[in-house]
């Protein structure tokens, strides 16, 4: 009877070991065959994205090593404990994925890819039970007099220790990865599943339109080829109206590149190169000169804070550097410039070029550099709050300057790397459009969608990214946020997208 039981236990040990060997060899070989995809899946994981490279090699190596331990009788006991530890780790990973993360990534490859996460959890639990049975059978199978006297509680404590170790390893990796992703990211994006959906697109007659503003459920489009013409379209894209701006330009002020800006009940015609600002009411689209500056007071970009306060950026002719400043039309010293906000890397002009925004909810000015992974947050008195960095890794602008006419004219000699292509802000968020691929990202996605990175301005961290799919094959060239909508403008279409409230905390 003793030998019969011994044979039965030995059969259970061998069978358990064989099942684990097949599982780990199959799983590791499947990962090796599709190694790039495996790393990409880990890179998109909400738990392990920051450690995708070491984890990808480590998992395959440990699976193969465990299969090797289980092959030889002398190391089989250690192999069974290692198999149990691995299954605890995998199971803990799934439990956290299902209960403590904002989304679930793709499952692993091979045959197991057809299993959902819940089914995968049940599958793992089955192998955990199998590993426990194998460990118990191995203890009972041991014929040495010393090991026969080993109490059952030693095995139990070993299993408890392995369980705690496995759970803690996953939790520690999760915590470290979260910190790395949000604070010290190595250009690893976290994509959420469909946080934005397309609502509708509306064809527009010309590709020279630009977004002039959104207010009162109306989207306003200016036209760079016809500066006095403006379209108003309701946010459902159902009703379109055309308007003609009438300027009271008695001074015969010439225009260079006028832009229309809407901040109801007013509209403004702004030309920073003249420089001049016209102001009028949206109700009648009639405007007159609001301010006409001196030639030295030119600027390139402007944002309206209040009807009497504008923020601007542009070339300061006295210093030959780009600066950020403010127009306060209620004060005698109308113009104030800050020489400290923008930091020169190469020439102080091209390398500091960027995008200017005003966030009305936070009452803060934002400046996002084009050619480096940096943005600035300042108050309306031009005091710096903080400098933020995007998840891109380009910290130094890659620009070569060419000069001509005895050094009087400077131009960009090469095509610089554009780190931040477009941007906008709303509520606690900064949205940045980038065409630069991060780690573990497929290049073919850029054919179908634009990449939008979302940063939280209050927590000073990167939150997540999402794909904004092209409408009729056209990528957006500019965009803004209004209420719970993302409004984008491509070459020939105005498109609205819905921002799902579970992902964005925006006030309507």
Which domain CATH number covers 476? 2.120.10.30
Rounded to the nearest 5°, which phi and psi values hold at 486? -100, 125
Q: At what angle do helices 76-100 and 52-71 cross, to 10 degrees?
A: 150
Q: Is 438 strand, coil or helix?
A: coil
Domain final residue pick, 130, 156, 183: 183
Answer yes or no: do 207 and 167 share one domain. no
3-class SS letters over 60-114: HHHHHHHHHHHHCHHHHHHHHHHHHHHHHHHHHHHHHHHHHCCCCCCCCCHHHHH
What does pTM read for this prediction? 0.79
pLDDT at 404: 64
Q: Which of 141, 160, 183 is the last residue of a domain?
A: 183
Q: In this structure, are 267 and 363 located in the same domain?
A: yes
pLDDT in tens, 291-346: 999 888 899 999 999 999 999 999 998 888 999 999 999 887 789 999 899 999 98
**Pick from 166, 19, 157, 31: which is nearest to 80 by CA?**
19
Q: What pLDDT does 184 receive? A: 55
Q: What is the mean pLDDT of residues 164-175?
A: 89
- Show the domain range for 200: 196-499
Domain count, the chain: 2
Percentage of the chain lying above the pLDDT 90 cut: 56
Read off the tokens for 150.
């080993």
Residue 507, in any domain of the structure: no
Is 271 domain-assigned? yes
Q: Assess whether 375 and 442 both reside in one domain.
A: yes
The pLDDT of 413-426, averaged and rounded, is 88
Residue 105 binned pLDDT confidence (cut-offs 50, 70, 90)? low
């Amino acid at each position: 009877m003793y030998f019969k039981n011994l044979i039965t236990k030995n059969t259970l040990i061998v069978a358990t070991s064989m099942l684990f060997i097949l599982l780990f060899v199959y799983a590791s070989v499947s990962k090796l065959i599709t190694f790039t995809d495996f790393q990409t899946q880990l890179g998109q994981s909400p738990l392990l994205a920051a450690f995708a490279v070491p984890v990808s090699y480590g998992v395959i190596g440990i699976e193969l090593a465990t299969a090797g331990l289980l092959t030889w009788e002398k190391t089989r006991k250690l192999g069974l404990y290692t198999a149990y530890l691995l299954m605890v780790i995998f199971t803990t990973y799934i439990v956290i994925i299902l209960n403590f993360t904002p989304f679930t990534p793709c499952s692993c490859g091979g045959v197991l890819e057809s299993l959902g996460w819940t089914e995968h959890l049940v599958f793992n639990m089955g192998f955990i039970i199998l590993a426990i049975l194998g460990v118990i059978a191995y203890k009972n199978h041991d014929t040495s007099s010393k090991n026969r006297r080993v109490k059952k509680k030693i095995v139990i404590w070993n299993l408890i220790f392995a369980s705690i170790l496995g759970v803690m390893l996953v939790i520690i990796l999760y915590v470290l990865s979260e910190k790395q992703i949000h604070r010290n990211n190595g250009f690893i994006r976290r994509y959420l599943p469909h946080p934005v959906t397309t609502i509708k697109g509306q064809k527009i007659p010309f590709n020279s339109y630009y977004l002039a503003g959104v207010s009162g459920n109306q989207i306003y489009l200016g036209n760079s080829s016809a500066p006095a013409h403006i379209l108003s379209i309701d946010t459902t894209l159902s009703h379109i109206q055309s308007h003609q701006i009438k300027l009271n330009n008695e001074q015969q002020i010439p225009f260079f590149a006028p832009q229309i800006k809407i901040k109801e009940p007013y509209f403004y015609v702004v030309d920073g190169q003249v420089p001049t600002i016209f102001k009028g009411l949206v109700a009648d689209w009639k405007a007159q000169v609001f301010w006409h500056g001196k030639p030295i007071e030119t600027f390139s970009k402007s944002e309206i804070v209040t009807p009497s306060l504008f923020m601007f950026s542009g070339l300061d002719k006295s210093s030959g550097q780009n600066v950020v400043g403010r127009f306060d039309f209620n004060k005698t010293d109308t113009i104030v410039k800050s020489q400290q906000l923008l930091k020169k890397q190469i020439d102080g002009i091209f390398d500091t070029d960027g995008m200017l925004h005003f966030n009305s909810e936070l009452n803060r000015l934002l400046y996002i550099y084009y050619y480096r992974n940096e943005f600035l947050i300042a108050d309306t008195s031009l005091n710096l709050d903080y400098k933020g960095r995007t998840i891109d890794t380009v910290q130094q602008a890659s620009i070569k300057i060419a000069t001509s006419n005895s050094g009087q004219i400077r131009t960009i000699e090469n095509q610089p790397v554009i780190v931040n292509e477009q941007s906008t802000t709303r509520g606690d968020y900064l949205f940045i459009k980038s065409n630069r691929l991060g780690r573990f990202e497929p290049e073919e996605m850029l054919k179908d969608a634009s990449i939008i990175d979302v940063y939280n301005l209050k927590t000073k961290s990167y939150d997540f990214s999402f794909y904004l799919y092209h409408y009729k094959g056209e990528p957006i060239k500019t965009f803004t946020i209004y209420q719970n909508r993302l409004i984008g403008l491509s070459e020939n279409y105005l498109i609205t997208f819905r921002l799902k409230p579970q992902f964005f905390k925006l006030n309507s």
